[in-house]
Amino acid sequence: MGDVGDSGGLIASAPSFNRRAIIAAVFNHAGDPLIGTRAYTDIRDYLSIAPDGFEAARHGAVVRTLAEFEPPWGGRELVLAALGPARVAFNWRLPEEIAEVAGRGSGIVLLTAMPASDEQVLIGACQAFGLNGLETRVAMGAVRAGDIQPIARIAQVSPNTAKEALAGAMRKVGVTRRAALVGRLSLVALGTVPKDSHPSWLSDAWGLTVRQAQIAGLIGNGISRGDVATALGLGQAVVRKELEAIYQTFGVNTAAGLARKLAESLAVRWLTEATAGDIGFDDEWSEPLSILRTKQGRRVSYSDYGPRSGRPTLVLHSASSNRPVSRALLRALHGAGRRVIAIDRPGFGLTDDFRRSREVRARMVAAVQDTLEVLDKLNIAQADIVSRHTPLAVRCHVLAPERFGVIVLVNPGLPAVVDTRRSGLSGFSKTIFEANPWAIRQTLRGVAAHMSIPRLARLLRTWMRDSPADRAAAENPELVRDYFRGVRMFGTGRVSGCVAEMIERIREGPIEPLPFYNEWRILVGSSDILYDPSEMTAFWRPRLPGATIREVRGAGRLLPYSHPEAIVEALES
């Protein structure tokens, strides 16, 4: 398992996974296990896998699925798992005994990781720190529960006894707070031993501000709020407010929950890495972040959601969001056998801005170059495009037509000179920004700096009130969370790309007709709040001759979130 070391950091730069936490097995095509790791044997009676996953693997597909884990101590957890035919899974990083059977080329391979709350992996972690029986029971209760009353019930002792045993466990583990105990035990249980505690990974993966990343790392390591405030030179009220936003981002409500969430996220990343990219990545909060240094030395951030065997499909984000792709669209594209890739344009997310930020044509050329370099890095010869940003889609096709196949434009919008819609809240905003383009920066920073999921939900309902379709879609909690994922990086102050593109839309001149666009599809939401659907159709039809234009009934500005099946249909038609 390796040396635990002295670091209290929760983020491993190169995790080495614990063999005892690896659940791997080979099944025959009837679904009967032929061989499994000890971890699989220990929990097979408590683990159930959806039959459709096996069915897909029988037909040669590599699939990501959620297995249900119902342990004897109660509760129910969902565990990310990969299933694939043995002839493909043989290339995964499997335990030797599993690889030997998979190498025969027949059967189905299951690969996943124990949840950090599993009894056997937790006992191993507790033993590594020399915890006695009582200390082990209360430490396991802390990982599974968090509060002292349920910990005492799990350990079958009184609350006072549980407190005393927890104190002893924390002394042996070398921590002073319960959250640090949970984080350290979870990491060692899974084998993802921490190498450092630098906050940049938190900022990159979850879109936290630098301050929030520092606070999350310290709180997750068990440092008290008061000590965090002192260490960072902040007031306790500021730390409390930032911590509320952090908990909301991670979907937890305690420091112990934050510690476990950070530890378990490493298991999800390990699973994607262990299958050599054969499974896709679909996590509610974190993104499969990769950073590319271009030939010019610029940093470009992108997400490859997999699966590696799918048809490459680029999803171009809008001018008012960053690269994260909604889970509804991800599920639809993955279901159609597509490999989903998203790239932050210059000045968005973690991608370095282009130094000539006001020259939009130069910015688009730089964005195309970034796109081509990412495709080259991933050894992708050609990709289809789903675009919420028409200028980049057009520029990609003009500069490198051989690298792109079918292109789907979603609500492509209109230049301000031909856009007549000025009704409602969105129309009022357009009027204000057209009169004073530089107000965009101040407005965006002001809104983003105080954004939270509840505030975003209220904002969406207000903004979408003139579109019945979008108003109904905005009631979906998953949609709101996905929208938040797309805009939360603006809260870090990285808004230059968004501002430049919005200003360019206001100043954009006439667009000349463009030939050879037979492989293009245009989807227009019938209830779009920003642009009149008939005006969009009338504008783009003569400019993209040969393109297929479809008005999607019951959809609006939120079409990519609410009607992903229409996008898949356009790609496949």
Tens of pLDDT, residue by residue over 431-490, are 555 556 666 666 776 666 667 788 888 888 888 888 899 999 999 998 998 998 888 778
Average pLDDT over residues 348-377: 83
- The whole-number pLDDT of residue 517 equals 63
Q: Given a cut of 80, is residue 100 above it in pLDDT?
A: yes
Burial of 142 per CB tally in 10 Å (0-12, 13-18, 19+): buried
Residue where the block lists tokens 């009022």: 428
3-state secondary structure of 136: helix
* Nearest residue to 326 (alpha-carbon basis) of 558, 482, 556: 482
3-state helix, strand, coil in the chain (%, to 5): 50, 15, 35
- How does residue 6 score in pLDDT terms, banded at 50, 70 and 90? very low
**364 or 429, greater pLDDT:** 364
Q: Given a cut of 80, is residue 108 above it in pLDDT?
A: yes
H helices of 323-438, in order, are: 327-335, 360-377, 390-399, 424-435
Query: What Å distances lie between residue 513 and 408, 516, 540, 544, CA to CA?
Result: 18, 10, 9, 6
Domain boundaries, the chain: 19-113, 116-279, 289-572
Q: Given a cut of 90, is residue 75 above it in pLDDT?
A: no
CA 299 to chain centre: 19
Average pLDDT over residues 255-276: 67
* Encoded tokens for 42: 């220990």
Rounded to the nearest integer, the mean pLDDT of the chain is 80
**33 or 207, greater pLDDT:** 33
Q: What is the CA radius of gyration of the chain?
A: 25
Q: Sign of the C-alpha dihedral, residues 439, 441, 442, 444?
A: positive
Q: Which of 360-369, 432-441, 551-560 shows the highest mean pLDDT?
A: 551-560
Helix (H) or strand (E) holding 68: strand 63-69
Average pLDDT over residues 224-244: 89
Average pLDDT over residues 406-414: 92
- The whole-number pLDDT of residue 49 equals 84
* Nearest residue to 501 (alpha-carbon basis) of 348, 373, 365: 348
Average pLDDT over residues 117-122: 66
34-72 per-position pLDDT tens digit? 999 888 888 888 888 878 788 888 888 877 676 777 777
- The whole-number pLDDT of residue 279 equals 57
Q: Given a cut of 60, is residue 200 above it in pLDDT?
A: no
Q: For the domain 19-113, what is the CATH superfamily, name and number?
A: PAS domain (3.30.450.20)
Average pLDDT over residues 112-138: 75
Q: Rounded CA gap, 119 and 29, in Å?
A: 30
Q: Rounded CA gap, 472 and 377, in Å?
A: 41
Q: Rounded CA gap, 293 and 7, in Å?
A: 30
**459 or 505, greater pLDDT:** 459
- The whole-number pLDDT of residue 10 equals 29
**195 or 354, greater pLDDT:** 354
Beta partners for 386? 315, 408
Q: Given a cut of 70, is residue 15 above it in pLDDT?
A: no
**349 or 192, greater pLDDT:** 349
- The whole-number pLDDT of residue 265 equals 60
Q: Given a cut of 50, is residue 16 above it in pLDDT?
A: no
Q: Lowest-confidence range among 51-60, 135-144, 488-497?
A: 488-497
Q: Given a cut of 90, is residue 546 above it in pLDDT?
A: no
Pairing relationship of beta strands 289-293 and 77-85 according to DSSP bridges: unpaired
Q: For the domain 289-572, what is the CATH superfamily, name and number?
A: Alpha/Beta hydrolase fold, catalytic domain (3.40.50.1820)
Average pLDDT over residues 515-540: 87
Q: Rounded CA gap, 304 and 543, in Å?
A: 32
Q: Given a cut of 70, is residue 159 above it in pLDDT?
A: yes
Q: Rounded CA gap, 447 and 522, in Å?
A: 31
H helices of 221-359, in order, are: 225-232, 236-250, 255-274, 327-335
**187 or 239, greater pLDDT:** 239
